[in-house]
Structure 1
Amino acid sequence: MVIKDHVKQRQIRILTDTSVSPRSGNVDSFRYPVDEAFSVKATSLTLSQSPEVYLRSTNGEIDCTVRTHRTIEPGIGEYSMDFSAPVKLYWKFAGNPTISKGMDSIQVSFTEETTVQFGVRSYHKKPAGTITTTDDPEDIITAVNALSSSLKTTSCERSYPTLRGYPPRIKLGESVDLPAGIEPKNTGIDIVIPPDFSYIYGVSTLAFYLGAKIVVGDNPRITTGSFEYDLSRGDWFEDEVAEVLKQTLFLDCIVRTEGIYQVDSYERSQVEADLPFDVAEMYDRPLPAQLESYLRIDFDTIEPYLPRWPLTAHLPSEPTSIEAIPHIVNELGVVREPRANSTSISRNVETVKSEGVRSTARSDSSSKVSMSVVEPIRLGESIEHAWFADGIPLGASKASVESFENQLRNVERNESIDITVVCNDPEMLDEQMSLDGVYGDREDQPYSVDSYFGVSKDQLQYLLTEDGCDFLHYIGHATPTGLRCPDGELDVRRLDSVSVDVFLLNACRSFEQAEALVELGSFGGVATLGDVVNTHAIDIGQAIAHLLNLGFPLRATVELVHQYTQMGSQYLIVGDGSLDIVQPETGAPMVCHIDSTAVDDEYEIVLDLFPTKKFQLGSSVTPDLDFIDQHFIHPGGLPPFRIKQQQLNDYLTWSMYPFELEGRLHWNNTLGTVNLSE
């Protein structure tokens, strides 16, 4: 049995001991919202993956996470199971189950044929409607206040991403219009700011998360009636706002462990002794009282344990920027003024001799070319820094509203994940050939991979506009004026539209053509600023292919390319950095960092987990290691663990994610023993 999410191209396989005939069920019979409900009768069901799973009994005696390498026999009773699979999955049944969780599967068996009710929900989120506003600051405040209408709760459980809906879109118009059903939350919290765009945009994410009302006034501050908090303490207004946002979400993640999922939280174990309140008592307090207690804590107390923030948006303080706000808020992005230094860089590369062989760049231009760029003053705060302002950024992605709006098109996706590889230079065939063993090596995913060589302008135009694909991997030459073909250049900017969702333009100076792809319909991709040496470009192309094939999003992929490849800094994201092309094999994508020095047959490892559209900020994760029972706030680096060599070998044998050893990234996408001494 296969459950598919056609919009997100996600699926989960479930094996049964006999053929089954699903019967339609009642979606309202489940505790949590579901899109579809059905039931089957079976004696055994096996998931072909091993996601996190939570088990509850209706009598309240069992309320726990099912750990990897464990078998549970809870006895006869009524139970529910909550799976964080590629689609959200809920089971309900009455019987005598045996539950076994391995590294790559979960089996539930019964002593006799049992009816199991299924509830299924897609992780796909889309805006509930579109708000119209004028360019007047006070009208824009009205629109921003309405974004909180998408919160599914105002309790601390809104720190779970599944309980934060996608905020309504906002567009500029002649008057203010809030569609029916879009009503701001009323939590009793006000944020007072001057009617200036920099202040409005700067507090938009915080106001959304708190369900707060933005009101016009002097002296930026938060008020709750009985409490007031100054927001003008830092050098920049955004600094204080960002700290409040991070502190509030983090402490909500601590307090929520007394609610729906009462898990053993690592972060709670580290900070609870320093909190001036009782966590259990705080769970039942109203949001304004919670916020007042949270903000009496020194930020330095919790800062070492904060999750790594996925997004900082550098957004111009002008009316048109309002259309980007809902998409930034959806990721709880920090919003900052686009402060930067202007400079220029060379787009040429000096090739060097290596072992007697001169490397060649993927550009045949010998003329010196420079490019004007901007260097954002504030970097390093988040995994991705998205530059929405004019100019080409260094160390950040080039973002645009179009990349988000293109994803909201109501287009039925194909059954398979369609990947197109184009190589337009015979000297670069090594890269194309190396991809044969990368794309499509996932047995759990339906792939369709088409490779082309020596594509003409007309054929490339057809591939971009008519044929369509989920991902384009272009290998060859590019200039600001076109992609090189045997019969000349195809300038993407001259096309009417494109049907390529995500792309990698692995060619010199491909930024301008990448920007045109997004303007004409693509969601986003990876491009280059200047020349890239062919040998390094092959390595980078392979690395990007490996990471995307494992479910890493663009923002994580480009960060790792910057860290572990030569010339990786020439590559940047154009569009939405949260994009991926395939679901992760299991859990959140990660890199295992291994200290190569063994002490008493033990290694120290650090797991670095990255966010995806499913595992967003505020998710709870637990690595599949026998000795780890605690849950961690996602994303970010987990604390160091010491692990026996055999345990590490076993873990790496079953994990498909890459590991880092002595400064090098190793691909671990084939099952087998890993030799750490190599």
Structure 2
Amino acid sequence: MEFDTLDRRSGIAIFDPVENVRFELYTENRPSIEPTETAGFYFPIDAAVGFETGAIEVPNHLSVVVRTQDGSIVTDATTFDGLSLPFDAYLLEVQSTPMKLYIAVEGSLSLDHGETSAMIRFDERRRVRIGARSFHDQPAGTITVTDDIEDAMAALSLLGSALKTTSCERSFPTLRGHPPVIEFGESFDVPSDIERPETGVELVVPPERQYVYPAASLAYYLGAELVAGGAPRLRVGEFEHSLSGPDGYEAAVNRTLRQVFFLDCLTRTEGYYPVELHERERVEPLVDLDFTALYGQPLAKQLPEYLSIPFETLRPHVPDWHLTTDVVPTVETLPALPYFADELSLLRTPRDPATYTSRPKPKMFDDFTRTAAVAAGDFTRSTADAWDWGEDELFQIERADTIEHAWVGNGYPIGANKVSIESLRQRVDYTAPDDSALKVHVVCNDVAMDEENVVGQFYGLRDFVAFDVSIHEETTTDELATLFQSEADFIHYIGHVDDSGFHCTDGCLDANTLPEVNVDAFLLNACRSYRQGTALVEKGSKGGVVTLAEVINSSATKIGRSLARLLNCGFSLRSALSIAKEELAGGVEYITVGDGGVTLCQSESGAPTMFRVSRDGEEFLLEHSLFPTANYGLGSITSSEVEQFRTRYLASDSFMQFRLSADEFEQSLELELLPVKIDGELYWSDELSIDDV
């Protein structure tokens, strides 16, 4: 973590170079900061600075939890107006920031909401200490396995070694920890410091990959051991819970994960954060659970109580899950499981991997690229008269009822993120950049497409995030190769791609010929760009957005602009694409390759946010949706400034709908720069008015 004073106004900047995120706090006068001890913050932190000030201003109306420095909560200041606290040693936790951020101070203080910020005032100039902790989390170690299924089961049984607690507080994303990763070797080997927690939980499954792989997320979250057996079941002590059902084994496993996780989130309100949680208020009258008594109990006591509740009772209140991952059950895909368990992804396995090795060209591509589909004056971003599918493997996969969908295995899934093992490894092998500015290259290699160049203005429309955006037109092969090999955060490519590579002024650049790629992520907005995108990932990029077929120029321009703005607002590649392609019937032609969870920058306030809006007479119905990211994962708590932070919710897609007057709706659009969906069309809060609804 790095701290510095601001130039444009009084205050300090906190920068996390590993996650490439930044936040600011403002002060009355320019502070004189100095490094200080990290002890005394109750929670662990990475670094701290101290300085004197009479007040601290927190931008964006972010909420503040006030504790004494022994961790006891004084107040959960989601709403406050003139709140005064007597002299004491306080620890203030600023929530929804891109890193964990704490303010330690001794004195009396008051908290107030301003028009655009929250203000913390002290009784006199006091010495304060600012502590911060990165959300970045390295894997707990490496487990070496052979091709044997017994090794796979033993390795997945150790994923829970990364849990920082086995209490219900592990439902907080920062208290889970990244599981150990898995690599292949000549024999099974586990470092001495990797040990499964003593939870007593067992998952009994047949020793077959189609049963073992879907259990990885549940095994991680419960610190469970995978045990070879007959009928799939969860076992702890004398209690057993069947993992079979009318909708199949995988659905039962994923349903169990969702149920236990959700009830942990309700039970934990008796602990570190005793907040009034909306979901607990809704569920408590429906179930015979004593959350006070359950808190602090071991899993052997909690699980029988949790799983006695019919899931259908809880279903309307369980948060929308963010990710489903289809993992082809082969030896080669095993190393992907710790990464998706870390995200608590719902896991599935295709029933017959052999059916995903070859499929003919889907008819949808004929429909999309037929001549009649191209309006007068429009054109496809293709240079080929016909497309030879050759050995390419494109196929439709089973729909997932989650916000995002990923695929691990051979071939290219239509509508899902094709993930490679190497891209997942690059996620945790990240090296801090040389400076805090995000470097973005916009490359347009066809002047007929220069209408999309406007995206250069969209990258950087943010406070607290410094961008270095450059525009490159009609590049040579050497110039484009240099850009791909440079230390940059993102390349937005506009132009043509075919079997030979990227079209440049002096020929074609094939990404397979590059010795390395150092650009973190990319958008290749050209026809049939998936081969070149895959090559960029294989050469070192984390991930990107590509196309599976021909794309119409006007549609590609629209999606390119939308993706640029969504990435600028902190959405991941995967979630940004899921939103952007809803606008176009041909959006199915775009997929993500590599690590679709990559983000370009952080959101202004916690998880990336989108409004869905409709009108009911003179009132406006505003649905508030959140999209989890690596820094703001499942289990995070949120509140909405739309209702002045009155209620706490579990962060989720569509977590609440608000009924607003015209004035209230216009005020909600001024909260931050974010996307707004109206009747399937994508708008932006800084360009929208009530007349557009």
TM-score by length of 1: 0.95
**Inter-partner Cα distance in structure 2 for 1:62 and 1:311:** 33
Give me the CA root mean square deviation: 2.1
Matches for 1:529-678 after TM superposition, within 5 Å:
529-598=548-617, 601-626=618-643, 629-669=646-686, 674-677=689-692
Please tell me whether the aligned partners of residues 562 and 568 of structure 1 are also in contact (alpha carbons under 8 angstroms).
yes
Is the alpha carbon distance of 1:669 and 1:522 closer, same or farther for their aligned partners in structure 2, counting shifts above 3 Å? farther
CA distance in 2, matches of 1:298, 1:267: 16
Separation (CA, whole Å) in 2 of partners of 1:553 and 1:439: 14
Once residues 422 and 246 of structure 2 are traced to their aligned partners in structure 1, the CA distance between those partners, rounded to angstroms, is: 33
**Does 1:495 pair with 2:506?**
no
Cα contact 1:55–1:79 (8 A) shared by 2: yes
Equivalent position of 1:421 in the other structure: 442
- Asked if structure 2 preserves the Cα contact closer than 8 Å seen for 1:66 and 1:101, the reply is no
Q: Judge which range, 528-537 or 111-120, deviates more.
A: 111-120
1:382 aligns with 2:402: yes
How has the CA–CA distance of structure 1 residues 62 and 617 changed in structure 2, closer, same or farther, with 3 Å as cutoff? closer
Distance 1:629 1:440 in 2: 31
Does 1:478 find its partner at 2:497? Answer: yes
Deviation at 1:587, TM superposition (A): 2.6
Contact 1:345 1:372 in 2 (8 A): no
What residue number does 1:435 align with? 455
Q: CA 1:223–1:353 in 2, change beyond 3 Å: closer, same or farther?
A: closer
SS of equivalent residue, structure 2 residue 442: strand
Q: How far apart in 1 are the matches of 2:185 and 2:115?
A: 53
Q: Deviations over 1:158-197 (max 9, x none)?
A: 0000001011111011112211321111101111112222
Identify the residue that residue 27 of structure 1 maps to in structure 2.
Answer: 38
Distance 1:351 1:40, change over 3 A: farther
1:568-609 CA-partner distances (Å, limit 9, x unpaired):
1111111112111011112321211111233xx422211111
Q: Deviations over 1:419-476 (max 9, x none)?
A: 01100001011101x12321122232111111100001111111112x2310000000
1:393 maps to a residue whose letter is P
Aligned to 2:3: none
Distance across 1 between alignment mates of 2:309 and 2:108: 47
The Cα of 1:57 is off from its aligned counterpart by 4.0
In 2, Cα distance between the equivalents of 1:107 and 1:195?
A: 58
Specify the alignment match of 2:319 in structure 1: 307
CA shift, 1:33, in A, is 1.4
- Give, as a single letter, the amino acid of the residue that structure 2 aligns with 1:424: N
Q: Is contact 1:46–1:105 with CA below 8 Å preserved after alignment?
A: yes
Stretches of structure 1 that go unaligned for 5 or more consecutive residues are none
Of 96-105 and 647-656, more deviation after overlay is shown by 96-105
Distance 1:519 1:154 in 2: 37
**Could you say what secondary structure the match of 1:463 adopts?**
helix
Cα deviation, residue 675, structure 1: 3.3
- Map Cα deviations across residues 293-312 of structure 1 (whole Å, 9 max, x no partner): 11111011111112222221
Structure 1 counterpart of 2:651, one-letter code: H
Are 2:344 and 1:323 aligned?
no
Residue pair 1:68, 1:626 contacting (<8 A) in 2 also: no
- Residue 640 of structure 1 aligns to which amino acid in structure 2? Q
Q: Deviations over 1:529-577 (max 9, x none)?
A: 1111111111110000010011111121111122123421111111112
Instruction: Work out whether 1:177 is the aligned partner of 2:189.
Output: yes
Q: Which amino acid aligns with 1:487?
A: D
1:68 to partner: Cα distance: 5.5
The one-letter code of the counterpart of 1:649 is E
The one-letter amino acid of 1:115's match is R
Query: Which string of whole-angstrom CA distances, capped at 9 and with x for unpartnered residues, describes residues 28-87 of structure 1?
Result: 322211111332211111234443321224699963332357442223333221123111
Distance 1:665 1:63 in 2: 42
Map of 1:237 onto structure 2: 249
> What's the secondary structure of 2:93's corresponding residue?
strand
Deviations 1:93-113 (Å, cap 9, x if unpaired)?
121212224574332111201
User: Structure 2 vs 1, CA of residues 29 and 58 (structure 1 numbering), >3 Å: closer, same or farther?
Assistant: closer
The answer to whether the aligner puts 1:395 opposite 2:415 as a matched pair is yes
CA distance in 1, matches of 2:77, 2:293: 27
Task: Give 1:282's aligned residue.
Answer: 294
Question: What is the identity, as a one-letter code, of the residue corresponding to 1:442?
Answer: R
Q: Secondary structure at the match of 1:73?
A: strand
Give a deviation string over 1:362-393, Cα, whole Å, max 9, x none. Answer: 1122225556422112x232222211122211
Tell me by how many angstroms 1:661 deviates.
2.2
Question: CA–CA distance in 2 between the matches of 1:665 and 1:36?
Answer: 41
1:199-237 C-alpha deviation (Å, 9 max, x unpaired): 221111101100111122222111111201111224432
Aligned to 1:167: 179
Equivalent-residue separation in structure 1 for 2:194 and 2:70 (angstroms): 38
| Residues 99-118 of structure 1 mapped to structure 2, 5 A cutoff | 99-102=111-114, 104-118=116-130
Q: How does 1:220-259 map to 2 (within 5 A)?
A: 220-259=232-271
Q: In the alignment, is the contact (CA less than 8 A) between 1:353 and 1:359 conserved in 2? A: no
Distance 1:482 1:191 in 2: 48
CA contact (8 A) 1:313 1:388 kept: yes
The answer to whether the 8 A contact 1:172-1:320 is kept is no
CA displacement, residues 398-432 of structure 1 (integer Å, 9 cap, x when unaligned): 11111111223352213210001100001011101
Q: Distance in 1 between matches of 2:203 and 2:318?
A: 24
Using a 3 Å threshold, how does the CA distance of structure 1 residues 111 and 191 change in structure 2: closer, same or farther? same
2:32 is the alignment partner of 1:12: no
How far, CA to CA, are the matches of 1:439 and 1:520 in structure 2? 25
Tell me which residue corresponds to 1:123: 135
Q: 1:219 to 1:424 in 2, by over 3 A?
A: same
What per-residue deviation string (whole Å, max 9, x for no partner) do you get for residues 485-522 of structure 1?
A: 12221111222221111100000110111111111111
2:79 and 2:438 map into 1 onto residues whose CA distance is: 30
The code of the aligned residue for 2:639 comes to: T
1-structure distance, mates of 2:424, 2:441: 22
Q: Percent identity at matched positions?
A: 35
Specify every segment of 5 or more residues in structure 2 that has no aligned partner in the other structure, as ranges.
1-11
Give me the whole-angstrom Cα distance separating, in 2, the residues matched to 1:65 and 1:463: 48
- Is 1:41 aligned to residue 58 of structure 2? no
Normalised by the length of structure 2, the TM-score is: 0.93
- In the alignment, the residues of structure 2 paired with residue 372 and residue 61 of structure 1 have an alpha-carbon distance, to the nearest angstrom, of 57
Q: Which moved more, 1:490-499 or 1:658-667?
A: 658-667
Task: After superposing the two structures, state which structure 1 stretch, 85-94 or 402-411, moved more.
Answer: 402-411
Which residue in 2 is equivalent to 1:263? 275
Give the letter for the 2:305 counterpart: S
CA distance in 2 between partners of 1:480 and 1:609 (Å): 39
Distance 2:116 2:388 in 1: 51
Q: What SS does the aligned partner of 2:481 have?
A: helix
Cα separation, 2, equivalents of 1:61 and 1:334: 35
Q: What residue in structure 2 maps to residue 444 of structure 1? A: 464
Give the match for residue 82 of structure 1.
Answer: 93
| CA displacement 1:117-136 (0-9 Å, x = unmatched) | 22210011111321111222
Partner of 1:350: 370
2:192 is paired with a residue whose SS is coil
State how many pairs are aligned.
670
User: Is structure 2 residue 207 aligned with structure 1 residue 188?
Assistant: no
Q: Deviations over 1:330-350 (max 9, x none)?
A: 101122112477452265612
